[in-house]
Amino acid sequence: MSSSTLSSRAASHGASRASQPRHAWQRFKPLAWLSPFALFFYLFQLAPMVWVGVNSFQVDDDWSLDNYREILDSGFIQQGFGNSLWLSVWSSLVGLAIAALLVSSLRRVSGRLRDAVIAFTNMSSNFAGVPLAFAFIIILGTNGALTLLLKQYGLIDDFNLYGKSGLMAIYIYFQIPLAVLLLYPAFDALSDDWQAAAALLGAKTWQYWVKIALPVLSPALLGTFIILIANAMGAYASVYALTSGNYNVITVRIASLVSGDLFLEPNLAAAISVVLMALLAFITLINQWLIARSYHATR
């Protein structure tokens, strides 16, 4: 064997050994880029959840289920869960219906108007918390501009912005932009040719929506509905700013137990948070089951 052949083999062997660390780095490079996100996810998601779960079983530095027994025995806490669920479910249903009609209409308008509406929706979805509550007080408060105008024309007699009806209005308001942004891509799956073909076969408009459009949209509608419920269940700033904590929803109860002036019971607040997370997890599992059935039905 010639010396040139040996040298070429040695060079190729050396190059292959040098390329091994390079290939290993290419393999672990995505993990290196992912590590900062994983660190933040642990610090701000997993670690607080673990802390809440552990402290929910702590009573006077001892392990106990007394916090969960108090939740079961307290009608006030159960009322907070009931009010939160009532507001979340109904505001999600109304917001989802309005958003679905809006998105369906947006598909029929010009591109500029559609882009303008989507941009406004994106902006209004970030308008929440204390500024949103202040805007509602100015417009629909006891001496709000729209309230006085409607009373002047005799259209309303008594509207309490600071009660259940007012909270429902503010919940629906911040649910609609989020629902529009989530449903807008899903409606692109509908083809105008489907409706034209259904019309040629003698189907009416409502038959097209019931038998063709809604089965296609049902996974997106169900998923959006669950996200809206979770969004409403976690609402705190708007509710507190509007009612000063006088309306009993579960997020206000948790905050009062953590930062209240009279009674500080962070372990009970942790137990309530665990029950809230379990409730949302249960709703999410139901949503996944319904989506799986809807996908099976559409195949």
Strands (E), the chain: 58-59, 62-63
Length of the chain: 299
Cα–Cα distance, 211 to 197 (Å, whole number): 13
Provide the pLDDT for residue 139. 87
Cα–Cα distance, 132 to 123 (Å, whole number): 13
Provide the pLDDT for residue 29. 74
Provide the pLDDT for residue 12. 54
End-to-end Cα, the chain, rounded Å: 65
Which residue matches tokens 């050396």?
14
Which 3-state string (H, E, C) describes 36-91? HHHHHHHHHHHHHHHHHHHHCCEECCEECCHHHHHHHHCHHHHHHHHHHHHHHHHH
Q: Are 15 and 9 in contact (CB under 8 A)?
A: no
Averages of pLDDT over runs of 10 residues in the chain (299 residues) are: 51 53 68 83 86 88 88 90 92 93 83 82 80 86 82 76 86 90 83 82 82 83 88 87 85 84 81 90 80 57
Q: Specify the CATH superfamily of domain 65-297.
A: MetI-like (1.10.3720.10)
Provide the pLDDT for residue 14. 52
Q: Where are the domains of the chain?
A: 65-297
Cα–Cα distance, 48 to 140 (Å, whole number): 38
Q: Are 80 and 250 in contact (CB under 8 A)?
A: yes
Six token digits for residue 286? 């139901």
For every residue of 87-114, DSSP letters joined together read HHHHHHHHHHHHHHHHHHHHTTS-HHHH
How many CB atoms lie under 10 A from the CB of residue 165?
Answer: 12
Provide the pLDDT for residue 8. 53
Which residue matches tokens 């629902």?
179
How many CB atoms lie under 10 A from the CB of residue 254?
Answer: 21
